[in-house]
């Protein structure tokens, strides 16, 4: 009888361990098997796209989306490559220069930057969905009052007057992660500013407003450009590559979630081509300046296109 009890106890113990293992089973993004993990971005455009992904996926599939705390783009990308996250809003120019450490000159003649980075990204297990329709490239910017005083319309126009001006931008623009950053830009155009300041991204527009800096680098679709009354200077020598917005995913995501979201590729591509730069500026403006919630703005926009009820 005692021997039989020991056998039963052992069987129950094995069953409990197996059950615990099944309950704790994780997907490729470090979450439950039916869940897409997203580390949120650091500005409104990324917040909006991530929340729109959540709305679309949870409306049109049986998968779930978990949006975690904000993370810098390089760290977020690394988490995806390592298998700790599944998806992020990104740009083909960022994938090229910051994540893959390549330059526009590396793109073969006759091949688009977008197609090239998708080909190269496959080697790291990532891919871009359809283009969103935005080109959120870096662009030099200065207050309209300064631009009018110095007759600034292109980045080249800064060359003879840079010594009078203070340049300031977020810390990320001064990193060595990628070629489209401050030092290569300054060397390419021959810009020698009176001084250069690294500032927190959250304080950049305040620094412009109070005159602490005269010139900055902006994102073309940032709604705060409108509120700050900035003139965006044409990149006349074409230093910056295109930054076509697109959702970046782990290449194995569709196979992993096939049972709960067999149509996931099509659902994510619902975002393809539905934006313009002006539309994204308006959406970002609603979040950053009008202080409306990301959830409200994202939901209202998708409903306006009848992509969700």
Asked if residues 137 and 242 have their Cβ atoms less than 8 Å apart, the reply is yes
Strand-by-strand arrangement of the 126-135 sheet: 64-68, 35-39, 87-91, 244-250, 126-135
Q: Which of 307, 297, 243, 241 is nearest to 274 (CA)?
A: 307
In the chain, list all ranges with CATH 3.40.190.120.
140-232
Which CATH superfamily, name and number, covers 140-232? Osmoprotection protein (prox); domain 2 (3.40.190.120)
State the CB neighbour count (10 A cutoff) for residue 196: 17
Higher pLDDT, residue 24 or 288: 288
pLDDT tens, position by position, 97-106: 889 999 888 9
Q: Is the confidence at residue 12, as pLDDT, over 70?
A: no
* Residue 30 binned pLDDT confidence (cut-offs 50, 70, 90): low
* Of the listed ranges 7-16, 46-55, 65-74, 219-228, the one predicted with least confidence: 7-16
Q: Is the confidence at residue 15, as pLDDT, over 50?
A: no
Which DSSP string corresponds to 262-286?
A: TTHHHHHGGGTT---HHHHHHHHHH
Please count the CA atoms within 13 angstroms of the CA of 46 that sit on its side-chain side. Answer: 21
pLDDT tens, position by position, 206-263: 999 999 999 999 988 998 898 899 999 999 999 998 899 999 999 999 999 999 999 9
Which CATH superfamily, name and number, covers 35-136+242-304? Periplasmic binding protein-like II (3.40.190.10)
Kindly provide the residue ranges of all beta strands, DSSP E only, lying in 49-204, ordered along the sequence.
64-68, 87-91, 126-135, 138-143, 166-170, 195-199
Higher pLDDT, residue 151 or 29: 151
Residues of the chain with pLDDT > 90, as a percent, come to 78
Higher pLDDT, residue 277 or 15: 277
Rounded-to-integer distance, Cα 60 and Cα 194, Å: 54
Q: List the structure tokens of 104.
A: 């526009």
Q: Is the confidence at residue 28, as pLDDT, over 80?
A: no
Which DSSP string corresponds to 79-117?
A: HHHHTS--EEEEEHHHIIIIIS---GGGSPTTS-HHHHH
Sign (positive/negative) of CA torsion 121, 127, 128, 130?
A: positive
State the CB neighbour count (10 A cutoff) for residue 189: 19
* Residue 31 binned pLDDT confidence (cut-offs 50, 70, 90): low
In the chain, list all ranges with CATH 3.40.190.10.
35-136+242-304
Q: List the structure tokens of 20.
A: 């615990």
Q: Is the confidence at residue 2, as pLDDT, over 60?
A: no
């Amino acid at each position: 009888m005692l021997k039989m009890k020991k056998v039963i106890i052992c069987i129950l113990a094995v069953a409990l361990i197996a059950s615990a293992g099944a309950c704790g089973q994780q997907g490729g993004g470090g979450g439950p098997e039916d869940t897409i993990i997203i580390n949120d971005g650091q500005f409104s455009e990324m917040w909006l796209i991530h929340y729109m992904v959540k709305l679309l996926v949870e409306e049109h599939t049986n998968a779930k989306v978990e949006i975690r705390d904000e993370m810098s783009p390089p760290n977020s990308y690394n988490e995806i490559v390592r298998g700790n996250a599944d998806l992020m809003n990104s740009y083909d120019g960022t994938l090229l220069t910051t994540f893959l450490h390549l330059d526009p000159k590396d793109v073969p003649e006759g091949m688009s930057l977008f197609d090239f980075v998708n080909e190269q990204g496959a080697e790291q297990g990532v891919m871009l969905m359809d283009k969103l329709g935005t080109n959120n490239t870096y662009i030099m910017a200065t207050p309209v009052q300064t631009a009018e005083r110095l007759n600034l319309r292109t980045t080249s126009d800064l060359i003879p007057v840079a010594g009078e001006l203070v340049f300031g931008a977020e810390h990320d623009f001064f990193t060595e992660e990628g070629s489209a950053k401050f030092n290569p830009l300054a060397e390419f155009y021959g810009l020698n500013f009176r001084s250069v300041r690294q500032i927190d991204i959250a304080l950049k527009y305040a620094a412009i407003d109070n005159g602490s800096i005269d010139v900055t680098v902006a994102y073309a679709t940032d709604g705060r450009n409108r509120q700050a009354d900035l003139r965006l200077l044409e990149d006349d020598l074409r230093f910056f590559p295109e930054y076509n917005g697109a959702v970046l995913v782990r290449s194995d995501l569709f196979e992993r979630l096939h049972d709960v979201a067999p149509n996931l590729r099509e659902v994510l591509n619902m975002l393809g081509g539905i934006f313009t730069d002006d539309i994204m500026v308006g959406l970002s403006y609603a979040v950053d300046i009008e202080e409306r919630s990301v959830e409200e703005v994202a939901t209202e926009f998708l409903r306006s296109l009848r992509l969700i009820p």
